[in-house]
């Protein structure tokens, strides 16, 4: 089998104009501001799925639930409650704050391959993401990639509608992963 003709790279400030072209292709999605994109790029967890020089997908990862879901909150209670509900045990945490695939590349395995690559890059982490009302078509994608539904949540701060939170908990491999150990 031939390898797919794409690469996964970290986004750079020089990618901004290509990112705006990419977001313009996404129907029903709000294009992030330049400030939002620069913040995500500076954070260091903004990845691009590229075919040659063309962006085919984007993913942004935060390691902070409060920053991702409750930016205006000064209390850890909401994030602690959320993490407790998924059985979080202190392992590294990845919050997928943005994930999108070009409409031309959907349903061809590119999204799953991109996501699986990120999961492997951050192996040993528990993952969370929010699926907004305008992106409910993504729910089966995350379920296919072994994410579980946590539930429907009231609007996350700064959002108008309810959303669905999905997660994938870290599971140890090997002998020490047995429940009797």
Q: How many CB atoms lie under 10 A from the CB of residue 82?
A: 20
Q: Which of helix, strand or coil describes residue 97?
A: strand
49, β-bridge pairs: 8, 57
Positive or negative: CA dihedral 46, 50, 53, 55: negative
Mention every residue, 6+ apart, whose C-beta is less than 8 A from residue 111: 57, 99, 101, 105, 141
- Length of the chain as a residue count: 181
Structurally, at CATH architecture level, domain 7-172 sits in: 3-Layer(aba) Sandwich (3.40)
Query: Given this model, what pLDDT does residue 119 score?
Result: 95
- The CA distance from 40 to 42, in Å, is 5
- Structure tokens, 17: 């104009």
- Spell out the domain ranges in the chain: 7-172
Instruction: For residue 39, give every residue at least 6 positions away whose Cβ sits within 8 Å of its Cβ, in sequence order, or none.
Output: none
Evaluate whether 145 touches 116 at the Cβ level (below 8 Å). yes
Overall average pLDDT of the 129-142 stretch: 87
pLDDT digit string, tens, across residues 78-100: 788 888 988 888 899 999 999 99
pLDDT above 60: residue 155: no
Please report the pLDDT score of residue 34 as a whole number. 94
| C-beta atoms surrounding 166 within 10 Å | 23
């Amino acid at each position: 089998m031939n390898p797919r003709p794409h690469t996964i790279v970290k986004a750079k400030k020089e990618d901004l104009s290509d990112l705006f072209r990419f977001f313009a292709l996404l129907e029903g999605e709000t294009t992030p501001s330049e400030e939002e994109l620069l913040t995500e790029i500076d954070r260091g967890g903004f990845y691009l799925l590229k075919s040659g020089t063309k962006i085919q997908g984007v993913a942004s990862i935060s390691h902070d639930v409060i920053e991702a879901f409750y930016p205006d909150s000064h209390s850890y209670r909401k994030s602690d409650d959320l993490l407790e509900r998924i059985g979080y045990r202190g392992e590294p945490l990845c919050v997928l704050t943005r994930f999108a695939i070009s409409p031309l590349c959907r349903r061809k395995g590119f999204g799953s391959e991109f996501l699986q690559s990120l999961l492997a890059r951050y192996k040993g982490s528990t993952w969370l993401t929010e699926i907004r009302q305008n992106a409910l078509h993504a729910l089966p994608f995350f379920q296919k990639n072994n994410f579980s539904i946590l539930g429907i949540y009231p609007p996350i701060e700064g959002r108008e509608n309810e959303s669905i939170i999905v997660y994938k908990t870290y599971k140890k491999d090997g002998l020490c992963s047995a429940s009797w150990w």
